[in-house]
Structure 1
Amino acid sequence: MNTKTILIVDDEPRTRQGLKKNLDTWANGNYQIITASNGEEAIQLMKENKVHILITDIRMPEITGLELLKIAKELNIFPVIIVISAYSEFEYAQEALRLGVINYLLKPISKKALIEAVEEAVKEVKKKQRVGLIEKVVDTKLVDANTQNPSNREPIREAIDYINNNLKNELTQKEVADHVHLNPSYLSSLFKEHVKLTFSEYVTRRRIQRAKELLMTTNLPINDIAEESGYKTAKYFIKIFRELEGVTPSAYRKNNNEKAF
């Protein structure tokens, strides 16, 4: 399910329903808007649902909004947070900011202020997911390959760019050597010296990284992902993927699937 969830927590039924009504209209079915009347209910909902944006009142009986944020943090639940309050005391705002709140809205909240705050939160969610995606697909050996000795490596930089732009194609060492006007065996030794990977190791790792990106951000069938990553058959692609990642492409997708917000 791709729908992202926004949780509204407020002990005042009128405020809670008013916020939900405004956000339902704005969301137009693109987001799931759920509500909780107290902190305990909110915690339960966050355990059961992946909450992307949390909008919570500060002053609530039993568990306050700030206590709710602390509990969420302890549970390793990190939604993008908007705090609402009828109180403008500075210490509340200060504490809220320390707990990672991106916006602090004072009651009564205008529809315009609410939507602006939520749209800003949506951007923050997208940013967090992009960072998460990069962390998941990053191959440290490829990162190292791109930060090795910057001197005397113009042909290698050109070779890497050519490989990265032609992953879908067959890509032979001779073809890349011709492109950078070097003898294939000289390119091979230069590549190994600067990139710390052989030519074929680099191509394989780069193709598998491309496959991981596609597995996590698209619904393309495995056959198509194999082709997009430069593999002629899905069977061979699955074999190489499993050797490098320890799981099949399908299992990787199931474990890591993160859709864009």
Structure 2
Amino acid sequence: MSGLLIIDDEVETRQEIRLMIEESSYNYFSVCEAGSAERGLMLLKQNQPGIVILDLSLPDMDGIQLGKKALELNPQVSIIVLTHLKMFDLVQACMNAGFSRYYLKPLSKVDLLSALDKLLIPDLVKETSYLRKVSSSNDFEVDLGNPIESATGYIHSHFHEPITLNEVADRVYLSASHFSRLFKAEMGVTFIEYLTRYRLEQSKKLLKMTSLPIEVIANNTGFANASYFATTFKRLEGKTPKEYRSLFSNLLHTSASGEK
């Protein structure tokens, strides 16, 4: 749950939130920004963030509708709502939609970090059982009307196994070339980029909450070897797997000390 997406058409607001995070203990978060609902939906599909900070007043879609779509894509995502509107019916609508937090603009650093504390720590604890929940099932149902959705579902269940574009294309009954073009058009990234990013997100869960050796984590998340895993991790995250793990060790230690 280390990815955060800010969806707000106000550039200044996005920059302020990014700066707050960069200057906090959550500076390990990979932060993406979108100025419209259309761009936000694309980034939701591509990056699968754990937290979305969402402005309700977007130029191309109602914010509550977008939040509901985000939850449809990932029921585990936490949504923090921002708005200039102080209206009880909006608060109630956000609660009914399953959103996590509701704040009036401008969002203060205290409120932001408090929200992240309350949303992040419980999820870190839940992820301790991650390895036991990795699917080993070979069951796979194809929705011919939604081949890319079927393909991403297959990736989510089998990312720890060797997977090729040709194999997944065969499973959704498309030629490799057509599947490749369709995947890029719908997801905004190539098949390999999506698969690599998904594997990386799963490896981050293991780094956060287990003491498993880097080699074991690489093997359990579908990377060919520890060297390739470390190189890919550094390229995409800007830090090594060991450095990333240290960040979370410090965070959890600080949190535990504060509760005593």
TM-score using structure 2 length: 0.51
TM-superposed CA distance for 1:124, in Å, is 3.9
Q: Distance in 2 between matches of 1:76 and 1:132?
A: 17
Is 1:254 the counterpart of 2:202 in the alignment?
Answer: no
Please give the root-mean-square deviation of Cα atoms over the aligned residues, in Å.
3.4
In percent, how many aligned pairs have the same letter? 29
Q: Deviations over 1:101-139 (max 9, x none)?
A: 2211111222211111122221243245346555449xx
Q: Which amino acid aligns with 1:23?
A: I
Map of 1:90 onto structure 2: 88
Q: Which amino acid aligns with 1:11?
A: D
- Does the aligned pair in 1 maintain the 2:67–2:99 contact within 8 Å? no
TM-superposed CA distance for 1:15, in Å, is 1.2
Map of 1:114 onto structure 2: 112
Q: Which amino acid aligns with 1:59?
A: S
Map of 1:158 onto structure 2: none
Alignment of 1:20-169 (within 5 A): 20-27=18-25, 29-76=27-74, 78-130=76-128, 135-136=133-134
- Does the aligned pair in 1 maintain the 2:21–2:27 contact within 8 Å? no
In structure 2, the CA distance between the partners of 1:61 and 1:123, relative to structure 1 (3 Å rule), is same
In structure 2, the CA distance between the partners of 1:108 and 1:221, relative to structure 1 (3 Å rule), is closer
In structure 2, the CA distance between the partners of 1:98 and 1:28, relative to structure 1 (3 Å rule), is closer
Map of 2:16 onto structure 1: 18
TM-superposed CA distance for 1:219, in Å, is 3.0
Q: Distance in 1 between matches of 2:134 and 2:99?
A: 25
TM-superposed CA distance for 1:78, in Å, is 3.2
In structure 2, the CA distance between the partners of 1:93 and 1:132, relative to structure 1 (3 Å rule), is farther
**Matched residue of 2:107: which SS?**
coil
**Matched residue of 1:101: which SS?**
coil
TM-superposed CA distance for 1:16, in Å, is 1.4
Number of aligned residue pairs: give it: 156
Greater C-alpha Rg: 1
Q: Distance in 2 between matches of 1:92 and 1:42?
A: 21
Q: Distance in 1 between matches of 2:91 and 2:131?
A: 31
In structure 2, the CA distance between the partners of 1:40 and 1:77, relative to structure 1 (3 Å rule), is farther
Q: Distance in 2 between matches of 1:86 and 1:128?
A: 34
In structure 2, the CA distance between the partners of 1:38 and 1:128, relative to structure 1 (3 Å rule), is farther
Unpaired runs of 5+ in structure 2? Answer: 136-205, 224-243, 249-260
Q: Distance in 1 between matches of 2:39 and 2:76?
A: 17
Q: Deviations over 1:68-116 (max 9, x none)?
A: 1111233345311111111121121112112222211111222211111
TM-score using structure 1 length: 0.51
Map of 1:171 onto structure 2: none
Q: Distance in 1 between matches of 2:65 and 2:108?
A: 26
In structure 2, the CA distance between the partners of 1:65 and 1:123, relative to structure 1 (3 Å rule), is farther
Unpaired runs of 5+ in structure 1? Answer: 138-212, 226-248
